[in-house]
Structure 1
Amino acid sequence: MQQNKDVISYGTYEESIIELESSNRLLQEIMLEELKNKTFRDKNPTILIITIDENYYKLLNIPIKAGTGFSYQDFQKNSEEKTNVLLGPYFKKYFQIGDTINNQYTIIGFLPENKFIINGNGANIYQKLDKAMLSPMPIDRYEHYEIMFSRLHQSTIMNLKRDADVNKLQEMIQLKGSDVTLYLKNLGGEINEAVTSSMDTENIDLIVGSLFILFIIAGIVVTTIVSIMMRKREFGIKMVLGESKFGMFIQIVLENICIAIVGKFLSIVYFLWRYEDHLQVSKDFDMASVREINLNMPILLFVFLFLLVIIIISNLIVFLFIRKLEPKTLIGGME
């Protein structure tokens, strides 16, 4: 691959989990609790280690937020030697540069926030580096053929030229004497395929969602009008005493907003209960995907704005009904 003119850069990586056992710095309880994998009911805190070779480190070209990056000498050490590592930004408030972990790993820098790498060469899953540890590939790892083959097969990343001969390159990477066929994937194409393959389902969801919104608007309008008619004497007396129809409209709007806020709160509680396991898995493994169920502030803000639009539209329809109301029809002709 290094001699192929179509390959701009390439690299391999592997992932493993270590228990956080000790450090020269006092380990805080809140960190130890957050690092426990609750999906697997782990009793001990763990850290994901992503071991990368020198080529992949150059390919990633990740800027270091604090400290220094890896040097050539870091990739020349054996597994038994102390290893320089880069930690995700989550650890910056608990460790400092120069601290050691498990008497094996020395922290030389911290990664920037919101950085991801491909997880297992899958088009849909990306590993967030906030709680991860980057480690240089020990030189003695190249002595194990089985490990090298597994890494080549499952976790090789290549940056190719636009006009690269993929078929020729795919033939070149096949290992002689092996029955396993290695394939090259275009990650951009894989992501696009993963998204477009579900378009039919998404279109159906869009239609159902639109009908559901219309049903919500109709429901708000009908229940509000029924509420007005059930309290028509109250509203009629207010109109006789001089309250404007716009003032009545504001009262109705405030009532609907209060109901909507309560409904939104109950919906969030249901969402947290319904997708509790999924959210816990997402938190434990710190991954992201092309299609992800999540709950964060931007999503909550979007839901709130969407709810506000529904309330405005439904109440404008109700206002058309309120404009036609007269005290006589609300209280009764004789009264």
Structure 2
Amino acid sequence: MIDENNSNKSPYIEEARFGLNRNKRSFFIIIIQCIICLVLISIGYSNFKQGHNSLRKINDYYNQIHYSLHDVADEDGSFSKYLKSEKEYYKLKSFVEELRNNDNIDFINTILQPIDIINKNIPKKFFYQYEEGYAEPIREENEIKYSFVKSTQISKNLKDVFSIEMDSGNYFSEEDYILNDNLYHNIILGYEYKDYFKIGDTIKAEYISEKFKLHVIGFFPKDTNIVRNNDVISLDRYICMPAFTELNYNKFEYLTSFALSQQANGQILTLDKKMNVAELVEQTSNKYGTFKFEVYSDNTNETKKLVKLSDDVLSKIRMITIILVVFTVISITMSMLSRIQKDYYRFGVQLLCGASIYNILLQISIELITVIAIAVFCSLIISSFIIGFGNYQLLLIFVGFTIFITSMIVPTYVLLKKETSQLIRGEE
């Protein structure tokens, strides 16, 4: 059965190659089926998994009791007094620092303060309130164009609270939370900014009436979410700045005063169900004679419903994946049984020439693993063009291997049950 010119090659490989050539049509169909199955699995898995993981992190956040602080400084007139007094500034600073240093709570900041990007062509989707339909048009002053874009200022501990990771680049260092005199600061951009900026770029911007130079040090992964006042906020279209813990009142009086007042309206997280957070805030406020605050316990029902919905969708994706794999395995199994029946006589001759059933199984396995390997390789290429690279690639390889193993079970059983005489008689 082996060509003399190829006698130096493995007979099983040669027979497998012959089998592949002889059954091109059926093997081509198997390849297409596997590619469709694997590409659908990769798209469903990768597109949903990141968002689901992000929501799970938010659910972990809700395992703590959390409160939002809202000052009444505008209502009682203390805010205007605060802006004009260095003494009032340091009172509020002491209030904020005491909450930050309290070991029984996490005091976090997720401030939504938009900034103006200067002389950059920024797509409208990054503009403040774009999603609500109220995005301000680009304004021009003295031949300078300003784009009012979404931005958030976050505290040091937010990374741990929401288990924030990086798509590329670095997270903020301790030094980044110190407001320096030249207003040159590091920023992290949301995932959708990757098409417009790169790490190392410098962006000129205006933040609370001061001109900044913002240096891009990294990008968040897609679907990075945080929570503020019970609202889930996707950072994909945000510029993220540090919420400065060390400010320079003497040089930047208005910027410093305004930024600190925003930080005072933070969120408190605690695991202590018995803690009276409103009383804690009131006592600390009275201690330093600063703003009065209303303390709200955030309602978690809507977010928990969202997490549950995410879990349900993931379960459906798992079920669809199983159905796709089972359908593909059944289809391949039927094709392999048809191929075995077609080659009964050929297998019988091989047995008479000294081969064993296990040799034939090895030959068939080489054929199938070659076909599935081609399908996996094509699926990886197609998926990388559609959704880029990611952990799903290991999943595709695993699913491909699983399809191969399970598709060989029935053909192996059929061949092992056959007698040599049955194979020689062929199709009767």
TM bin (shorter chain): 0.5 to 0.7
Q: 1:222 to 1:109 in 2, by over 3 A?
A: closer
Residue 111 of structure 2 aligns to a residue whose secondary structure is strand
1:241 aligns to 2:343 (yes or no): no
Match of 2:268 among 135, 149, 158: 158
Q: Corresponding residue for 2:184? A: 84
Are the equivalent residues in 1 in contact too, given 2:108–2:155 (CA < 8 A)? no
Q: Corresponding residue for 1:32? A: none
Alignment RMSD: 5.3
Distance in 2 between the 1:105 and 1:184 partners?
Answer: 34
C-alpha deviation, 1:252, in angstroms? 1.6
C-alpha deviation, 1:225, in angstroms? 0.9
Q: Corresponding residue for 1:320? A: 413
Distance in 1 between the 2:277 and 2:110 partners?
Answer: 18
Q: Deviations over 1:189-232 (max 9, x none)?
A: 76543232355555555445434433332222111110121223
Are the equivalent residues in 1 in contact too, given 2:110–2:228 (CA < 8 A)? no
C-alpha deviation, 1:134, in angstroms? 1.6
Distance in 2 between the 1:114 and 1:134 partners?
Answer: 16
1:118 aligns to 2:232 (yes or no): no
Distance in 2 between the 1:92 and 1:270 partners?
Answer: 26
Match of 1:9 among 101, 107, 122: 107
C-alpha deviation, 1:48, in angstroms? 7.5
C-alpha deviation, 1:327, in angstroms? 4.1
Unaligned runs of 5+ in 1: 23-34, 41-45, 176-181, 280-294
Q: Corresponding residue for 1:68? A: 175
Residue 248 of structure 1 aligns to a residue whose secondary structure is helix
Distance in 2 between the 1:57 and 1:296 partners?
Answer: 31
C-alpha deviation, 1:110, in angstroms? 4.7
Q: Corresponding residue for 2:29? A: none
Q: Corresponding residue for 2:204? A: 102
Range with greater deviation from structure 2 (83-92 or 10-19): 83-92
1:306 aligns to 2:399 (yes or no): yes
Identity of aligned residues (%): 16
Q: How does 1:18-29 map to 2 (within 5 A)?
A: none
Q: Deviations over 1:296-318 (max 9, x none)?
A: 43221022113212311221332
Distance in 1 between the 2:373 and 2:230 partners?
Answer: 40
Are the equivalent residues in 2 in contact too, given 1:87–1:111 (CA < 8 A)? yes
Q: 1:120 to 1:15 in 2, by over 3 A?
A: farther
Distance in 2 between the 1:216 and 1:246 partners?
Answer: 25
Are the equivalent residues in 2 in contact too, given 1:92–1:110 (CA < 8 A)? no
Q: Deviations over 1:133-189 (max 9, x none)?
A: 525578646999xxx99x97xxx54324532458999xx9669xxxxxx87244xx7
Greater RCO (CA < 8 Å, at least 6 residues apart):
2
Are the equivalent residues in 2 in contact too, given 1:86–1:107 (CA < 8 A)? yes
Q: Deviations over 1:273-294 (max 9, x none)?
A: 8xx5xx5xxxxxxxxxxxxxxx
C-alpha deviation, 1:237, in angstroms? 2.4
One-letter amino acid matched to 1:306: V
Q: Corresponding residue for 2:241? A: 134
One-letter amino acid matched to 2:187: L
Distance in 2 between the 1:270 and 1:69 partners?
Answer: 41
Distance in 1 between the 2:188 and 2:361 partners?
Answer: 53
Q: 1:195 to 1:66 in 2, by over 3 A?
A: closer
Unaligned runs of 5+ in 2: 1-68, 70-94, 127-146, 161-169, 206-210, 245-251, 281-291
Are the equivalent residues in 1 in contact too, given 2:171–2:217 (CA < 8 A)? yes
Length-normalised TM-score, structure 1: 0.56
Q: 1:209 to 1:113 in 2, by over 3 A?
A: closer
Distance in 2 between the 1:120 and 1:111 partners?
Answer: 22
Residue 118 of structure 1 aligns to a residue whose secondary structure is strand
Distance in 1 between the 2:177 and 2:255 partners?
Answer: 18
Distance in 1 between the 2:367 and 2:413 partners?
Answer: 17
Q: Corresponding residue for 1:217? A: 329
Structure whose residues are more often helix by fraction: 2
Are the equivalent residues in 1 in contact too, given 2:117–2:203 (CA < 8 A)? no
Length-normalised TM-score, structure 2: 0.46
Residue 176 of structure 2 aligns to a residue whose secondary structure is coil
C-alpha deviation, 1:127, in angstroms? 2.8
Distance in 1 between the 2:159 and 2:320 partners?
Answer: 44
Distance in 1 between the 2:344 and 2:199 partners?
Answer: 63
Select the structure of larger CA radius of gyration. 2
Residue 238 of structure 1 aligns to a residue whose secondary structure is helix
Q: 1:57 to 1:239 in 2, by over 3 A?
A: same
Are the equivalent residues in 1 in contact too, given 2:202–2:215 (CA < 8 A)? no
Q: 1:330 to 1:198 in 2, by over 3 A?
A: same
Q: Corresponding residue for 2:287? A: none
